[in-house]
Structure 1
Amino acid sequence: MADAPSPLRPTDDDARALARALIAGADFGALAVVHPDTGLPHVSRVGIATSADGTPVTLVSDLSLHTRALRAAPRACVLLGEPGPRGDPLTHPRLSLDVTAGIVARGAEHDTLRARWLARHPKATLYVDFGDFHFVRLVPTGAALNGGFGRAYALTAADLTG
């Protein structure tokens, strides 16, 4: 019996551009981490922005479980892409990014991220400077792109930069 054909299309420039656009346009995402106590998956809704090089960034509080999880195990996944206002939500593009999370220390990079974050999320002015809040770079290591019905791609980290 022959193997079933792969549902994945060859990655092309259109897929790369769509993935980059989903990252650049994301205001929110679903962050999946490993629960540090149970070892089970845990998903949180988080705000998203990007650093100057296009790397996704989030702002987290030490009070959140996902921050503790990222400190214990920095490998995570973030789902980006919101359904449109009409039609079947599963026909809209979405990107599952495999990432390695890195907490950003206070300093020049933090200050640059703060300015970019507040340009994207101005209401965060209320809490961005609290001592328990930290920026986290979500450095992509690979991704699964669903560009809509019948348009699935596997992307490398290099596909997402450019």
Structure 2
Amino acid sequence: MPRDPIQDATPDAIALARALLAQPHAALAVTDADGTPAISRIAFGTSPAGPLTLISNLAPHFAALAANPACALLLGEPGPKGDPLTHPRLMLKAAATFIAAADPARPALRDHWLATHPKAKLYIDFADFAFVRFTLVSAFLNAGFGKAHRLDPETLL
């Protein structure tokens, strides 16, 4: 039987994954209304409530998440040099939950979001914008050639 090339988490892998979680944007994969995959770049952040984003109901991925909350996120960018596939990236499988405007947790999330995404002050209070929390299902870190790790979502947060 072939050896599984995916390694268990190590302290270094967990630290790298947590650093990737600190990025202000991510790629979000959803299933569109026609059943096909779609991907968007979104603002991304973490909070005491977990990973989240702020999106407009005018965006196609808003409707896609409302219809089917299963999604995936990709964090990590290629560096300025070298093969892009050698740079670390983190893939998260998740379930999306919309946070209602009247939710008592929203003011604290708003304050936290603005502390890390200050330009959102221009639109954060528009009626079409909502916070979406991502409940992690699984995490996979590709830290470069021969450095792939399965990570426990609870360990990351």
TM-score by length of 2: 0.92
| Equivalent residue runs for 1:1-162 within 5 Å | 3-23=1-21, 25-36=22-33, 38-53=34-49, 55-106=50-101, 107-161=103-157
Q: Deviations over 1:63-105 (max 9, x none)?
A: 1110101111111000001222222221111000001111111
The one-letter code of the counterpart of 1:21 is: A
The one-letter code of the counterpart of 1:57 is: L
Q: Where do 4+ consecutive residues of structure 1 move more than 6 Å?
A: none
User: 2: distance between equivalents of 1:116 and 1:150?
Assistant: 36
Per-residue deviation, 1:22? 1.1
Q: Is the 8 A contact 2:136 2:153 kept in 1?
A: yes
User: 2: distance between equivalents of 1:10 and 1:97?
Assistant: 16
Q: Is the 8 A contact 1:102 1:137 kept in 2?
A: yes
TM-score by length of 1: 0.90
Q: Deviations over 1:37-76 (max 9, x none)?
A: x1011000000111125x2110111111101011111110
Per-residue deviation, 1:111? 1.2
User: 1: distance between equivalents of 2:104 and 2:75?
Assistant: 27
Instruction: Structure 2 unaligned segments of length 5 or more: list them.
Output: none
User: 2: distance between equivalents of 1:109 and 1:84?
Assistant: 36
Q: Deviations over 1:18-43 (max 9, x none)?
A: 212211x211100000002x101100
Per-residue deviation, 1:131? 0.4
How big is the alpha-carbon RMSD for the aligned residues of Structure 1 and Structure 2? 1.4
